[in-house]
Amino acid sequence: MTFRKSSFALLFTGSAILLGALAAAAIARTTEPQDKWISMFNGKNLDGWTPKVVGSEYGVDDKNIFTVKDGVIHVSYDGYDKFEGQFGHLFYKAPYSHYKMRLEYRFYGDQLEGGPGWAFRNSGIMVHGQNPKTMTLDQSFPVSIEVQLLGGGGSGKRTTGNLCTPGTHVVMDGELKKQHCFNSTSDTFHGDGWVKAEIEVRGNEIIRHFIDGKEVLVYTNPQLDDGDADAKPLIKDGQLMLSGGSISLQAESHGCEFRNIEILPLK
């Protein structure tokens, strides 16, 4: 009888330890990060990034619109006397399809003389973009989905994390939208402070914009605009849907900076 009690106690204790270990392992599996954020910018130089400036070949930025200064990607038009359409894009080394991307941005200083009014404190993150090597010499913007980044002018409302569609369309609320830009529901950010922007991109399914952690815009089914001159050469076998592409940062005549640029690939 004593032997049976001891055996039962040992069995119970061993089972409890085993269950505890299994539970701990399950908790560890659910709390451990499944993927890791990858830094896209080393804070020292533009390794992994290549410029494309209107009027110049891919890889040529002879007046240094894009440089690294004090650990940030620095966008400046100090090398130009006047803006004459020199839009620029800084392309990341690899295309992506399913991912999250986050960064901080800010505007500073004055807009270059001659810059269009709409480009005041205006930049962007271009996703699902065309291969930059396929852009024409004088093409202003890559065919892409633009997460538009704007700064306020000191008063009034001017949202950021908006959407613009150079050579593309999207679906919102089940309807194909063909207008060029769409405002988000974000706050307005006046001054030169840093703003956090994040994007969730899931192929051709859904794209979400976040500003300072708040979802401000969502849409689905990014696709090529078959009536756009820049997009037409990219259409193969009638396929319009976009499920991935290049990522680039924009220069549109106003100084801005980017830092803490990271990407999280998604399955």
pLDDT bin (cut points 50, 70, 90) of residue 34 is: low
Are 121 and 189 in a shared domain?
A: yes
Are 10 and 120 in a shared domain?
A: no
How confident is the model over 145-189, as pLDDT tens digits? Answer: 999 999 999 999 999 999 999 999 999 999 999 999 999 999 999
Strand order in the sheet with 181-182: 49-53, 88-92, 246-251, 122-129, 145-150, 162-164, 181-182
Residue 46 clears pLDDT 50, i.e. is over it: yes
* Tokens 């901080």 -> residue: 104
Domain boundaries, position 81: 38-265
What is the three-class DSSP state of 5? helix
Are 149 and 241 in a shared domain?
A: yes
Residue 240 clears pLDDT 70, i.e. is over it: yes
How many domains does the structure of the chain reveal? 2
Are 24 and 63 in a shared domain?
A: no
Q: Which of 252, 257, 220, 256 is nearest to 119 (CA)?
A: 252
**Own/partner pairs for 56-64, CB < 8 Å, 24+ apart?**
56/137, 57/137, 58/132, 58/133, 58/135, 61/88
Are 6 and 110 in a shared domain?
A: no
Residue range 23-48: average pLDDT? 72
- Look over the chain and give the mean of its residue pLDDT values, rounded to a whole number: 91
Are 131 and 5 in a shared domain?
A: no
Provide the CATH number for the domain around residue 127. Answer: 2.60.120.560
Residues contacting residue 251 through CB under 8 Å, at least 6 positions apart: 53, 65, 66, 75, 77, 87, 88, 89, 90, 123
- Res 15: pLDDT: 44
Looking only at the bridges linking them, the beta strands covering 175-177 and 206-211 are: unpaired
* Tokens 């009034």 -> residue: 156
Instruction: Please report, rounded to a whole number, the percentage of residues in the chain having pLDDT higher than 90.
Output: 87
How confident is the model over 76-125, as pLDDT tens digits? Answer: 999 999 999 999 999 999 999 999 999 999 999 999 999 999 999 999 99
- Res 69: pLDDT: 97
Are 165 and 107 in a shared domain?
A: yes
Are 15 and 145 in a shared domain?
A: no
Residue 127 clears pLDDT 90, i.e. is over it: yes
pLDDT bin (cut points 50, 70, 90) of residue 35 is: confident
